[in-house]
Every structure is written in C-alpha cells, then in structure tokens.
C-alpha cells in the first residue's frame, strides 16, 4: 500500500477531508476503498457514542428528547440506546474510529502504525499525524492509520513530494511540534558496501553515531519548545559484539537537551518466526524501540 497525503478523519465529510488534504473527493473515495475502511460502520459508531453520551450525561433523558437534540429518528436513537457495544466493522474491513480510539496503554506492539498512533494520542493531542519526517524512505510508517506528515525529507528522496534533507538543514529554528527520525541500524564494511546499501547502512560505527548525533541535533533545532521527537532505533551486534545503539541514542538525545518521556517496543513478528523456526541466533533482535523525546528548554 502506498503512503498517502490524505488526512483521513472519520468525523469529517468526504468534501471536508478532500479540502483539508488538497485532493478531489474521488481521491478520498479511492483511499477509503483501497484501505478497506468501513465508513458506514464508522458513521454508526459515531451515532452510537453520541446517543450513549446523552444518556450518560443525563440518565433521565427520554428517547424523543435525544432524538430532537441530535436530529435523529426516534427509532434510530432507540436502536443505539439498546446496543450493548458499539457496532463492529464488517469482516476484512477496518474502522478508523476504532483505530483512533485512545489506546489505554500500548508499550509493545506488532504494528508500527499502532505505536505511532498511540504517541500521537498520548503526547500530541491526538492530532492526525506528525509535522515532519526527516527520514521518510518509502513512507512505510504511513501506510495504515497515520497519514503522511506535511513536511517530508530524506537524504535519498524516493517518493514524490519528498525534499532533500539539505532543505531541512536550511529551515529556520523551531518550526515543528513533532519530528520523526528512523535511521538505518546496520554496518556494512566500506569495502563491500554496494551503492544501494549506502542509504540503508553505515560504513562504520563511528559514522552511525556521528549521523545519529547530527540528526538528533537537527531535530532539536527544528522543534518548538515542548516539541516531540519520535526516534526509532534498535540494537544489533557487530562481529558477535553487541552494540547498544539504543542506549547510545538516548544518551545523545539527553546530552542535546531532550528528556526521554516514553519508550515503545515494536515486535517484528516475521523476524521472530524466522528465528524460532530456524533455531538460529539472530544478529539483530526481532524488536526495535520507538523513543519519545520532549524538547525542554534548559532554564
């Protein structure tokens, strides 16, 4: 699935989503179809919650009173009032309202988008997406429930609308509320490093650490006070020696001035299955970290 610029919000009309995203209504319809979003179910869930909220706010309210205040038919109000649980999407389809519901506490997930959504909910007022991604790559993070950020950069732009990282380096200070970084986590010896590996690995550990530092400092400069940096990384071993890249990333961010406010663990199920079925020890763990850093000005 291709990442999309469409800022899909199940609470808005197709026309409003199209205007907000700068696309046609037809494009929004295609988005809904391709992503198998059950919009009809979402509309029902929204009505269900509206009715239940009225009853919760005033237990003595009558069905006709709710119908009048919500401009719904009496029969419709009765239907939702009698329901024990919200409607569920049809088989094979997804509910965007469900996806946007507060995740009570997700610290571990097999879905990167679920983690990114949980961070948006918990630390960014449930905004639809992030302001900026500095390592957008092929946009894998934004294939499901999180739309593409407005500002996209990469040292090796691969998608339409992605600007070269050098343009982010030239941006003024403090322009974003949130920034996402996901740098390569692999070392391939410079002698055997092929052209296509240049952007998916580093030649030496020193190069990796220097880039991590440079990118964390860039995020610090681009973020407003209290802005959020989401930094994905993982540990791996080199010549059977473990390299604690994640600890080093936290130390670098903290030295830059960030506070580590949360950590999420992404479990790569395919990698777990591959390791357990082959009974081989993996050189990279089958999990990665999503660190959440907050920019706090030192007074």
Q: Are 134 and 215 a contacting pair, CB within 8 Å? A: yes
- Look at the block and give the residue holding tokens 């869930």: 45
Q: Can residue 135 be called a binding residue for ligand SAM (CB under 6 A)? A: yes
List the structure tokens of 114.
């679920």
Q: Can residue 138 be called a binding residue for ligand SAM (CB under 6 A)? A: yes
Q: Can residue 155 be called a binding residue for ligand SAM (CB under 6 A)? A: yes
The residue within the footprint of ligand SAM, chosen from 38, 44, 154, 235 (CB under 6 A), is: 154
* Burial state string for 239-261 with b = 16 or more CB within 10 A and e = fewer than 16: eeeebebbebbbebbeebebeee
SS3 152: strand
The residue within the footprint of ligand SAM, chosen from 165, 222, 250, 292 (CB under 6 A), is: 165
Residue among 101 and 211 whose Cβ is closer to ligand SAM: 211
Residue among 101 and 197 whose Cβ is closer to ligand SAM: 197
Beta carbons within 8 Å of 147's beta carbon, 6+ residues apart: 4, 5, 6, 7, 8, 21, 128, 129
Task: Please choose, out of 44-52, 133-141, 222-230, 289-297, the segment that lies near ligand SAM by the rule CB under 6 A.
Answer: 133-141
- Look at the block and give the residue holding tokens 């997700």: 106
Binding mask 176-205 for ligand SAM (x = CB under 6 A): ------xxx--------------x------
Q: Can residue 211 be called a binding residue for ligand SAM (CB under 6 A)? A: yes
Residue 142 CA to residue 27 CA, distance in Å, equals 17
The residue within the footprint of ligand SAM, chosen from 140, 161, 190, 242 (CB under 6 A), is: 140
Q: Can residue 139 be called a binding residue for ligand SAM (CB under 6 A)? A: yes
- In angstroms, give the least distance from the CB of 7 to ligand SAM: 18
Q: Which of residues 71-110 bind ligand SAM (CB under 6 A)?
A: none
The residue within the footprint of ligand SAM, chosen from 31, 130, 141, 220 (CB under 6 A), is: 141
Q: Are 263 and 288 a contacting pair, CB within 8 Å? A: no
CA distance between the termini of the chain? 45
Q: Which of residues 215-274 bind ligand SAM (CB under 6 A)?
A: 215
Residue among 165 and 250 whose Cβ is closer to ligand SAM: 165
What are the DSSP calls for 74-118, one per residue? HHHHHHHHH-SS---PPTT-B-HHHHHSPPS--SEES-HHHHHHH
Sign, Cα dihedral of 201, 203, 206, 211 = negative
Applying CB under 6 A, which residues contact ligand SAM? 135, 137-141, 154-156, 165, 182-184, 199, 211, 215
């Amino acid at each position: 699935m291709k990442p999309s610029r469409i800022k899909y919000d199940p609470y808005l009309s197709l026309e409003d989503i199209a205007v907000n995203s700068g696309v046609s209504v037809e494009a929004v319809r295609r988005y809904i179809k391709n992503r198998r979003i059950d919009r009809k179910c979402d509309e029902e869930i929204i009505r269900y919650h509206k009715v239940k909220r009225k009853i919760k706010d005033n237990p003595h309210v009558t069905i006709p009173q709710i119908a009048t205040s919500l401009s719904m038919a009496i029969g419709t109000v009765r239907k939702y009032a009698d329901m024990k649980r919200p409607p569920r999407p049809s088989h094979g389809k997804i509910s965007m309202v469900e996806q946007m519901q507060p995740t009570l506490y997700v610290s571990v997930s097999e879905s990167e988008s679920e983690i990114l959504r949980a961070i948006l909910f918990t630390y960014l007022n449930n905004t639809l997406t992030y302001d900026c991604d500095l390592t957008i790559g092929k946009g894998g993070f934004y294939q499901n429930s999180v739309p593409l950020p407005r500002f996209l950069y990469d040292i090796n732009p691969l998608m339409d609308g992605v600007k070269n990282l050098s343009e982010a380096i030239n941006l003024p200070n403090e322009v974003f509320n949130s920034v996402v970084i996901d740098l390569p986590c692999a070392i391939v010896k410079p002698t055997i490093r092929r052209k296509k590996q240049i952007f998916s690995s580093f030649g030496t550990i020193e190069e990796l650490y220097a880039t991590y530092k440079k990118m964390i400092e860039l995020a610090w400069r681009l973020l407003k006070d209290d802005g959020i940096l989401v930094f994905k990384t993982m540990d791996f071993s080199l010549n059977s020696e473990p390299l604690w890249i994640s600890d080093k990333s936290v130390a670098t961010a903290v030295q830059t001035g960030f506070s580590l406010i949360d950590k999420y663990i992404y479990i790569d199920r395919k990698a777990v299955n591959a390791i357990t079925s082959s009974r081989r020890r993996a050189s990279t763990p089958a999990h990665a970290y999503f660190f959440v850093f907050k920019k706090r000005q030192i007074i």
